[in-house]
Homo-oligomer: A and B are copies of this chain.
Amino acid sequence: MSAARAWTLSLEDRATLIKAAIEAKETTYSPYSKFPVGAALLTTDGKIIKGANVENASYGGTICAERTALVKAVTEGSRSFVALAVTSNVNAAISPCGICRQVIREFCVLDMPILLVPGDYPKQPDDPEAKKPGMTEGGVLETTLDVLLPHSFGPEHLELPRN
């Protein structure tokens, strides 16, 4: 994991990634929460990898959209990412849960863009939600892992000397 972002997200890739997250949402299995979520990763070699939440009757066995996309990517050979987009059926930016933030932490650079896409993307520029601070085109909140998981615990901490 490097401290500096090596890749930038072009406007075209941004649009493709957002579209993929919205499509991914359709593949959800969320009969318990009835809260479908879609996620899409752009890999540094240009692949788009999609995921959706897959719930479980035990509740604890539930795997979110972001983690589905990540384990899919990793086991298909991609461990280097340009950006992540996440969306739901709520008309506001919905953020990854802490579990997903921790799993993202394992594989992504801290300043990788994370796009939180409202369910009614693209919002019109005069939509009050789209005018909130930090919003980018269409009412997307663009953030990073460093913002979402500060003081994060990661692989390197398991290597630290201990008493």
Residue of B nearest to A92 (CB): B160
Chain B residues contacting A29 (CB-CB under 8 Å) are 74-75, 79, 106
A75 touches B97 (CB 8 A): no
Taking the closest CB of chain B, its distance from the CB of A74, in whole angstroms, is 5
Taking the closest CB of chain B, its distance from the CB of A14, in whole angstroms, is 19
B59 touches A55 (CB 8 A): yes
Interface-facing stretch out of A4-12, A122-130, A151-159:
A151-159
The secondary structure that dominates the A interface is loop
Contact of A97 among B32, B35, B153 (CB under 8 A): B153
- With an 8 Å Cβ cutoff, the count of chain A residues facing the other chain is 71
A46 lies within 8 A of chain B by Cβ? no
Chain B residues contacting A58 (CB-CB under 8 Å) are 62, 64, 97-99, 102, 153
Chain B residues contacting A154 (CB-CB under 8 Å) are 57
Chain B residues contacting A116 (CB-CB under 8 Å) are 151
Q: Provided the pairs A101-B98, A153-B96, A163-B91 are in contact, do residues A54 and B71 lie with their beta carbons within 8 angstroms?
A: yes
* Chain A residues numbered 4-55 whose CB sits less than 8 Å from any CB in chain B: 24, 27-29, 31-35, 50-52, 54-55
A162 touches B35 (CB 8 A): yes
**Measured between alpha carbons, how far is A89 from B159 in the docked complex, in Å?**
12
